[in-house]
Amino acid sequence: MNAPVAASLAAETADLLARLGVDPARLSGGTLAVASPITGEPIARLAEAGADETAAAIGRAEAAFRAWRKVPAPRRGELVRLLGEELRAAKADLGRLVTIEVGKITSEGLGEVQEMIDICDYAVGLSRQIFGLTIATERADHRMMETWHPLGVTGVITAFNFPVAVWSWNAALAFVCGNSVVWKPSEKTPLTALAVEALFARAAVRFGGVPEGLLEVVIGGRAVGEVLTDDPRVPLVSATGSTAMGRAVGPRLAVRFARALLELGGNNAAIVTPSADLDITVRAVAFAAMGTAGQRCTSLRRLIVHESVREALIERLKKAYLSVRVGDPRAAGTLVGPLIDAGAAARHEEALAAARAAGGVVTGGEQVAVEGAAGGHYVRPALVEMPAQVGPVIEETFAPILYVLSYREFDEAIALQNGVPQGLSSSVFTLNMREAERFLSAEGSDCGIANVNIGPSGAEIGGAFGGEKETGGGREAGSDSWKAYMRRATNTINYGTTLPLAQGVTFDIG
Ligand code: NAD
Confidence at residue 1, expressed as pLDDT on a 0 to 100 scale:
38
Q: Do residues 339 and 400 make contact, with C-beta atoms less than 8 angstroms apart?
A: no
Mutational pocket test of ligand 1: of 245, 298, 461, the residue with most ligand atoms within 8 Å of the beta carbon: 245
Is residue 34 a contact partner of residue 191, using CB atoms and an 8 Å limit?
yes
- Residue 425 Cβ inside 6 Å of ligand 1? The answer reads no
- Residue 161 carries which side chain, given as an amino acid letter? N
Question: For each of the chain's 510 residues, which pLDDT tens digit applies?
Answer: 344 444 589 999 999 999 999 999 888 878 999 999 999 999 999 999 999 999 999 999 999 999 999 999 999 999 999 999 999 999 999 999 999 999 999 999 999 999 999 999 999 999 999 999 999 999 999 999 999 999 999 999 999 999 999 999 999 999 999 999 999 999 999 999 999 999 999 999 999 999 999 999 999 999 999 999 999 999 999 999 999 999 999 999 999 999 999 999 999 999 999 999 999 999 999 999 999 999 999 999 999 999 999 999 999 999 999 999 999 999 999 999 999 999 999 999 999 999 999 999 999 999 999 999 999 999 999 999 999 999 999 999 999 999 999 999 999 999 999 999 999 999 999 999 999 999 999 999 999 999 999 999 989 999 999 999 999 999 999 999 999 999 999 999 999 999 999 999 999 998
Residue 351 has phi, psi (to 5 degrees) of -65, -40
Single-letter residue type at 167: W
Confirm or reject: Cβ of 268 under 6 Å from ligand 1: no
State residue 29's pLDDT score.
Answer: 78
The answer to whether 263 is a known catalytic residue is yes
Strand partners, 402: 383
CA 155 to CA 61: how far, in whole Å? 10
Q: Which atom of ligand 1 is nearest to the CA of 248?
A: 18
pLDDT at 28: 80
Closest to 84 (Cα-Cα) out of 45, 125, 49:
125
Ligand 1, from 108, 157, 296, 398: best to mutate by most atoms within 8 Å of Cβ? Answer: 157
CB 126 within 8 A of CB 478: no
CA 348 / ligand 1 centre spacing (Å) = 17
**Residues of the chain by 3-state class (helix, strand, coil), percent to 5:** 40, 20, 40
**Among the listed residues 202, 173, 175, 218, the one whose alpha carbon sits nearest the alpha carbon of residue 68:** 175
CB 193 within 8 A of CB 217: yes
Distance between Cα 51 and ligand 1 center (Å): 20
**Distance in Å, CA 339 to ligand 1 centroid:** 16
Query: In this structure, what are the phi and psi dihedrals at residue 191, rounded to the nearest 5 degrees?
Result: -70, -40
Q: Is 222 in the pocket of ligand 1 (CB under 6 A)?
A: yes
- Which residue, judged by its Cα, is nearest atom 1 of ligand 1? 241
Q: What is the pLDDT of residue 4?
A: 40
CA distance 206 to 83: 10
- Nearest atom in ligand 1 to the alpha carbon of residue 467 is 41
With a 6 A CB cut-off, is 226 part of the ligand 1 pocket? yes
What number does the ligand 1 atom closest to the CA of 265 have? 34
328/270 Cα distance (integer angstroms):
29
For ligand 1, atom 23, the nearest C-alpha belongs to 241
Q: What angle do CA 260, 266, 267 make, to 5 degrees?
A: 155
What's the CA gap between 101 and 395, in Å, rounded?
A: 26
- Domains identified in the chain and CATH numbers: 9-264+472-489 (3.40.605.10), 268-460 (3.40.309.10)
Question: Could you say which of 41, 112, 197, 263 is catalytic?
Answer: 263
In whole angstroms, how far apart are CA 194 and each of 34, 84, 143, 201?
13, 16, 48, 11
Using CA atoms, how far apart are residues 241 and 248, in angstroms rounded to an integer?
11
For the chain, the straight-line distance linking the first and the last C-alpha, in angstroms and rounded, comes to 92
Cβ atoms of 427 and 456 within 8 Å: the answer is yes
Exposed, middle or buried, 279 (CB in 10 Å: 0-12/13-18/19+)? exposed
Q: Where are the alpha helices (DSSP H) in 341-409?
A: 342-357
Atom of ligand 1 nearest to the CA of 188: 26
Closest CA to 209 of 390, 82, 319: 82
Dmax (CA) for the chain in angstroms is 92
Beta strands 215-217 and 180-184: pairing type?
parallel
Shortest-distance atom of ligand 1 to CA 186: 9
Whose CA is closest to 4, among 28, 39, 52, 51?
39
Cβ of 183 closer than 6 Å to ligand 1, yes or no, is no
